[in-house]
Structure 1
């Protein structure tokens, strides 16, 4: 990828980098206008994009961050390769194809021109068109390899594949697991613990299809996939989650849904270091897959720290507790915002309130471990700050996953 800038002239590089201050001021305004243009001109793309993320402003903000990062690194695009791979996994999972890129480029440039006005000179637009096409070529190349690998692996497939809901299990007041088996009776591919699948939901009464990405919450190598879905309830001006409500209320055992093959970069590495898993709420789902693999392999000490609002929101507690009781290499601790009910007398629930460095430090192996954490944005920010600045964990041993479009933590 680092060599892909060879086709860019120095004038293009300088012009794009010079737009960084403008983009930092007006980036989200540009990307919000971009999505408005895109969907008005190509409404069929509403079948791909998450409309909830659009309404909450997450997708425009995430795209703005990506555009700014590209502008800052246009002379060294290799610097953003990890982000490219992360986004490419999502694109492959959603079914983004090469023919989508010219449509996106045309509307992104139109949005820049309309929002920036006189600042969007012909030189600026020409430079950004050249830069966009170069970056698009990189994405198309990376995604092409991912599509090929996904289809050609044992049990793999292209596009969406129908699955039956074999079993539906309530894990907490808000989280329900769905055990999914291929409708064609064929094999399942292996996957890396921590990966996700994209589900296609045709919700009654909704004009467009809804695609959602859910982490696989069970270990690979089984005869089913498992996803554990959090019921998204109304918050402020935003109503109950369309897809999660449909899953909880309308999707039953024996029903059929379609999904794409597993994808994602947030995966358990193969070092021999001890592992620490830190989850906030439903962020435990990819970590549960990792935990099951660690329990099965019994080759690395593991500490699982789960946080939840209260007992009604705490999923998989009994399973994790039983594993810790039976296996010497497993440690388990939990923290609740409000300790009540069975948690009052449960020795594994050891804290009320937010995790802090003083509570965490004696419960983890320190700098010798690999740390994986997942949860809502405030949880991610807190964990990264504690691990980096207070526990002095090397950054290369810290791994985290966003649910939804990536933000800057």
Structure 2
């Protein structure tokens, strides 16, 4: 890009701040009108909620703001790239997206989209697409170089279906070809793709792997969603609960995601989960326990009540048998029996645990709803925890920017 083109991109930042979501809504409507087959690739639930449009608007704005030095966006590029690889997005898809994004800029901005601005954004998009596609090519290569690794969609058979609470059920997924699987990193997710009759579309959703790394199967633990107007995400979860049974076959992609335990982690670990956010952290905890991790491990979990507390007995057993593992549980609704067992009432609040030892340079992993993540993050920072040692996983399109 020339310096003049970079200046033109920078000059559009105020417009993107004001009209970014309008632009991305127009873009998605345009793309799905001209390329309806892509509805099978994009999560239509996130389209319906507006989360995907907002996430794209934030990404475009961040790129424009850092056009002089895009390398600062590498962490964001990796996070998005992990999602793209999990959805089997390939370089040819960037060509389609680019065509509709540039056309949308012209159509939304009208006369303000001068030939010079359009030319600058065309160069900028191609630069970004090259950066993303190049990074994703490396991620695909890493997948294939893993033991038992693969890329793209692969058929898996449901070997076992086990209730874990009143709302959450685990699915044990084995390769339909009888082969092995690549061990995941604790905290990673897989994508599962189902046909939804309600939409007449194939739709994909990511679920954290709740089992420890192994070569035989992946386990996902899925929450049943309630409500009359479920989006696609809820439809997929309920389709699994209601219509997918043992021996049924579903499509999966290989594990992806960078919300993981570092292999050389050597410090106290605190795991903070809300509701079904327990799933990636359970894989982390069990992996630490299986590897005889000697540093203190603290687990904090919050949910509505005992009936929806998944893996409760398993976690209690770990705490009883491992001296270095401590647990603090919060229920919105507690019974006398819960109180006797030490359960705290209300939403998870670290200030209500007087024995909690928050070491500034320990490692903290948070997973749960967005509001839950924000509260725990800010409470930890307020307690003196190093921001660089706080990691979080937001289900769905990344909208939180806390670090």
TM range (shorter): over 0.9
Taking the TM superposition and a 5 Å limit, the aligned residue runs for 1:2-401 are: 8-221=1-214, 223-234=216-227, 241-269=234-262, 270-299=264-293, 300-340=295-335, 342-347=337-342, 349=343, 351-360=344-353, 362-388=355-381, 390-401=382-393
Q: How far does residue 93 in structure 1 lie from its aligned partner after superposition?
A: 0.8
Residue 301 of structure 1, CA deviation = 2.1
**Cα 1:256/1:307, change in 2 over 3 Å:** same
Q: CA deviation at 1:339?
A: 1.5
Question: Matches of 1:244 and 1:374 in 2, distance apart?
Answer: 18
TM-score when normalising by structure 1: 0.94
Please give the alpha-carbon distance, in whole angstroms, between the structure 1 residues aligned to 2:141 and 2:230.
42
1: distance between equivalents of 2:287 and 2:99? 45
Distance 1:152 1:408 in 2: 32
The runs of 5 or more residues in structure 2 that have no matched partner are none
Distance 1:175 1:77 in 2: 41
CA contact (8 A) 1:233 1:239 kept: no
User: TM-score by structure 2 length?
Assistant: 0.95
Structure 1: unaligned runs, 5 residues or longer: 1-7
Alpha carbons 1:311, 1:342 under 8 Å: kept: no
In 1: Cα distance, 2:341 partner to 2:353 partner:
18
Distance in 1, matches of 2:386 and 2:118, equals 41
Aligned residues: 399
Distance 1:40 1:229, change over 3 A: same
CA–CA distance in 2 between the matches of 1:257 and 1:168? Answer: 13
Separation of aligned partners in 2, 1:287 and 1:104: 35
Residue-by-residue CA offset, 1:182-201 (whole Å, 9 max, x unaligned):
11111211221000111111
Residues 45 and 233, structure 2, Cα contact 8 Å, conserved in 1 = no
Query: Does 2:400 align with 1:408?
Result: yes
Matched position secondary structure for 1:116? helix
Deviations 1:114-158 (A, max 9, x none): 222222222211111110100100111111111122123211112
